[in-house]
Amino acid sequence: MTQVKVCGLCRPEDAAAAVAAGASHIGVILSAQGPRALDEARARSVLSRRGSARAVGVLVDEPVDRIAALAEELHLDVLQLHGAETVEDVRALRSRTVASIWKSIRVRDAHDARESIAAWAEHADGLLLDGWSPHAAGGTGTAFEWEALRDVRAQIPAHVTLVVAGGLTADNVASAIRLLSPDIVDVSSGVETEPGIKSHERIRAFVAASREQKGAEGR
């Protein structure tokens, strides 16, 4: 079954609502970019409501030492690298933390995306496909052309987690799952009333829509 990650969480009550709705992963932004960025104290408060969900820290071009320290201090299960990090950075992190490492790939076009996937598939535990925007490294609600990458799952080794993000809502997540067969769908702005403020009703609707697509595939 496709799992759900709710990202850009800024309030403990929103994290609790995501977990109660069935989210398998909850994410916090740990780099000082955008309205959803949290300091360590606020991130710790949000993640205190993680329940059984896996905690994901989103980082953009941070030093390896800081990433490793945050992974330990916040008990992160996943490090989501959203900048221009290198394979060498990932290798260094592997010696410093047991957290899984996801690398974000911002999709400008299918050709560039496939080249990036090929470059990272043997080095990351997960690949996150996100819409490209000139305004920020992520969280912009920008979708990419799913149809152009509909066979992407076959390009990625089975042991590598495929995460799809960018412009997902309860209205379109079923289409993304049908076309891309991701392991996880990742939503942030698609369940918000304003940046950093999640709607619990929209979270529940998003999780339900993700599950409905799985049910449709089995019929």
pLDDT digits over 180-194, tens only? 999 999 999 999 999
CA–centroid distance for 74 within its chain: 17
Looking at the chain, the number of H-run helices and the number of E-run strands are 8, 10
216 pLDDT above the threshold of 50: no
Residue 51 is encoded by which pair of tokens?
């329940």
In this prediction, residue 120 carries a pLDDT of 96
Long-range contacts of 17-23 (CB under 8 A, 24+ apart): 17/198, 17/200, 17/203, 17/204, 18/53, 18/198, 18/203, 19/49, 19/50, 19/51, 19/52, 19/53, 20/51, 21/200, 21/203, 21/204, 21/206, 21/207, 22/207, 22/211, 23/53, 23/203, 23/207
2 pLDDT above the threshold of 90: yes
149 pLDDT above the threshold of 80: yes
Q: Which CA distances in Å does 104 have to 81, 117, 131? A: 6, 10, 10
8 A C-beta contact, residue 40 and residue 57:
no
218 pLDDT above the threshold of 60: no
Task: State how far the Cα of 219 lies from the Cα of 14, in Å rounded to an integer.
Answer: 33
What are the structural domain ranges in the chain? Answer: 3-217
Quickly list DSSP for 50-101.
Answer: -TTSEEEEEESS--HHHHHHHHHHTT-SEEEE-SS--HHHHHHHHTT--SEE
Matching residue, tokens 């090929």: 118
Q: What is the pTM of this model?
A: 0.92
pLDDT tens per residue across span 108-127? 888 889 999 999 999 999 99
pLDDT > 70: percent of the chain: 92
What mean pLDDT value characterizes the chain? 92
Residue 132's pLDDT band, with cuts at 50, 70 and 90, is: low
Task: State how far the Cα of 13 lies from the Cα of 92, in Å rounded to an integer.
Answer: 35
> For residue 145, which phi and psi values (nearest 5 degrees)?
-80, 95
pLDDT tens per residue across span 40-90? 999 999 999 999 999 999 999 999 999 999 999 999 999 999 999 999 999
Single-letter amino acid code for the residue at 146: W
pLDDT > 90: percent of the chain: 83
Q: What would the CATH number be for the domain defined by 3-217? A: 3.20.20.70
Residue 131's pLDDT band, with cuts at 50, 70 and 90, is: confident
Matching residue, tokens 């977990």: 19
In this prediction, residue 140 carries a pLDDT of 55
In this prediction, residue 215 carries a pLDDT of 44
